[in-house]
């Protein structure tokens, strides 16, 4: 029996290297009736919106659609993004446990691939077993008025706005600090310049007197 176009579209998005946002699938009115009939598929799309590897590994039987190896790789990359959004310093041991990767070599291959595809920007310190994260892509957010399964560590639009406000305040505090330092430096420089200009005529007068004395 051929697979429905909606299922094919969803599975293809799970495996596509360039797709990392799934809210459009989840909120598409054309999919609403399908998700109502097939709640397992809705839960799986929500998993890719907000969930991580361990949610899939620890699922109750039949909670999610069975994923291909490529879809599992995508879910691992999304899980990595979630970890990078939480912290910019991650140990190999921690990531291996969270991502279900059993050795450091395979972890480094996975991380290098994620860097190559610009999922994250990071530096690997193999000897120390540490990843220093510079930046990463984002993940889907819960839209205003929505309620999502509580076991996902979700971010709401309101939360993003609040985080931006907090960031703005930190930036403004930093700007004010730099302005104050700049004003203090300018004041000190101005005072030094005034002191030098006041001292200069006396020095010149002394030299002139010495010249007058010598000329006699």
51-97 residue pLDDT tens? 999 999 998 888 999 999 999 999 999 999 999 999 999 999 999 99
Based on the domain organization, do 48 and 134 belong to the same domain?
A: yes
Based on the domain organization, do 140 and 176 belong to the same domain?
A: no
Based on the domain organization, do 135 and 163 belong to the same domain?
A: no
pLDDT of the residue at 40? 95
pLDDT of the residue at 148? 73
Q: Which one has a higher pLDDT value, 207 or 44?
A: 44
Q: Which one has a higher pLDDT value, 100 or 210?
A: 100
pLDDT of the residue at 1? 56
pLDDT in tens, 162-203: 444 444 555 566 666 677 777 777 776 666 666 666 655 555
Q: How far is residue 32's CA from residue 137's CA, in Å, rounded to a whole number?
A: 27
Q: What is the CATH number of the domain that holds 89?
A: 1.10.10.10
Based on the domain organization, do 134 and 161 belong to the same domain?
A: no
Based on the domain organization, do 131 and 200 belong to the same domain?
A: no
Residue ranges making up the domain that contains 53: 5-155
pLDDT of the residue at 163? 43
Pick from 21, 66, 46: nearest CA to 57: 66
**Does the pLDDT value for residue 214 go beyond 50?**
no
Report the domain count for the chain: 2
Pick from 171, 89, 80: nearest CA to 123: 89
Based on the domain organization, do 146 and 176 belong to the same domain?
A: no
Q: How far is residue 100's CA from residue 61's CA, in Å, rounded to a whole number?
A: 19
Based on the domain organization, do 176 and 125 belong to the same domain?
A: no
- pTM value? 0.71
Among residues of the chain, what percentage have pLDDT more than 90? 61
Based on the domain organization, do 9 and 73 belong to the same domain?
A: yes
Based on the domain organization, do 143 and 188 belong to the same domain?
A: no
Based on the domain organization, do 106 and 189 belong to the same domain?
A: no
């Amino acid at each position: 029996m051929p697979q429905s176009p909606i299922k094919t579209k969803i599975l293809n998005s799970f495996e596509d290297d360039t797709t990392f946002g799934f809210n459009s699938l989840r909120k598409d009115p054309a999919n609403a009736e399908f998700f109502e009939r097939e709640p397992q598929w809705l839960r799986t799309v929500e998993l890719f919106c907000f969930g991580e590897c361990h949610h899939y590994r620890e699922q109750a039987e039949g909670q999610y659609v069975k994923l291909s190896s490529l879809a599992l790789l995508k879910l691992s990359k999304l899980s990595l993004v979630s970890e990078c959004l939480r912290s910019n310093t991650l140990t190999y041991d921690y990531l291996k446990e969270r991502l279900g990767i059993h050795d450091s070599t395979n972890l480094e291959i996975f991380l290098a691939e994620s860097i190559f595809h610009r999922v994250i920007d990071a530096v690997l310190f193999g000897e120390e077993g540490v990843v220093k994260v510079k930046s990463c892509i984002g993940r889907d957010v819960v839209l205003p008025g929505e309620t999502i399964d509580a076991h996902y560590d979700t971010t709401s639009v309101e939360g993003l706005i609040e985080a931006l406000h907090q960031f703005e305040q930190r930036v403004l505090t930093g700007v004010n600090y730099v302005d104050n330092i700049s004003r203090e430096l300018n004041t000190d420089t101005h005072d030094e310049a005034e002191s030098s200009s006041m001292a200069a005529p006396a020095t010149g007068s002394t030299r002139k007197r010495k010249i007058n004395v010598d000329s006699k």
